[in-house]
Amino acid sequence: MERVLKSGLGWRIGWNPAAPEFKGLVGTDDWAIELTEAELNDFCRLLTQLADTIRQIATELMDEEKITCEAESDLLWMEVEGYPHAYSLRFILKTGRCAEGKWDDSAVAGLLKASQMLKVF
């Protein structure tokens, strides 16, 4: 299995199975943080969960109505905010290194798609 780095406008996500501790990476064009495998797994799972929740709620919202939705695990907290078709994403890493990051609404769709295909073997 080889190292994978996917990127697009305003986002990047990576997986390096050969790395000793920090096998994952998330970031933007301006910043990045390495994640453990468990942190990356939670990041991808929570991002998909939030996207599914937004999709389910979308039918109940008026066009101009914004939504904020949170999800968390023992390792990280995540929040999406905006409209069902365009929302930003924030996360806070809750483990020893503690870090925080954010993606603009224009980057989240690409990040979501890449996160779902990152570790497909």
Single pTM value for the model: 0.92
Fold classified for 4-117: Transcriptional Co-activator pc4; Chain A (2.30.31)
pLDDT computed for residue 1 by the predictor:
67
Give residue-wise pLDDT tens across range 66-118. 899 999 999 999 999 998 889 999 999 998 888 999 999 999 999 999 999 88
Please give the Cα distance from 111 to 11 (Å, whole number).
6
Please give the Cα distance from 45 to 17 (Å, whole number).
18
Compute the average pLDDT of residues 50-63: 87
Orientation angle between helical segments 37-57 and 105-117, nearest 10 degrees: 120
pLDDT computed for residue 112 by the predictor:
96
Q: Give residue limits of the domains in the chain.
A: 4-117
